[in-house]
Amino acid sequence: MNQAPFFQTIYVLTRKIPKGKVATYGQLARLAGNPNAARAVGACMRINPDAPRTPCHRVVAADGSLTGYSAAGGITKKKAMLLSEGVSFDGDRVDLSRSGWQVEV
């Protein structure tokens, strides 16, 4: 399977996540038409060639955990960026009930 079109779809979707909201890796995979590709979404985020225009820091694990952030500062920086955008946390996890991106498909 050629990953380039999938990755481009993921980048387009990621750019639609508004400030103050997050999406999960699995959610983006489902929206891209491949519900079993959450790990591929993670790989896509790791090689994001267009940050910050493509805000990969707004993508989190299914339970709201902050997993992986390859930019300088790592997860600490990711959390700071999300907090500055108004994302709600419950401890170290994003409160998905308040800050999860609700998208109509």
Whether 56 sits among the annotated catalytic residues: the reply is yes
CB atoms within 10 A of CB 42: 18
CB atoms within 10 A of CB 26: 16
Among residues 32, 45, 56, 96, the one annotated as catalytic is 56
Give φ, ψ of 25 to 5 degrees: -55, -45
Give φ, ψ of 22 to 5 degrees: -135, 160
User: Hey, what long-range contacts does 65-68 have (CB within 8 A, 24 or more apart)?
Assistant: 65/92, 65/93, 65/94, 66/92, 66/93, 66/94, 67/42, 68/42
Q: What residues are annotated to the active site? A: 56
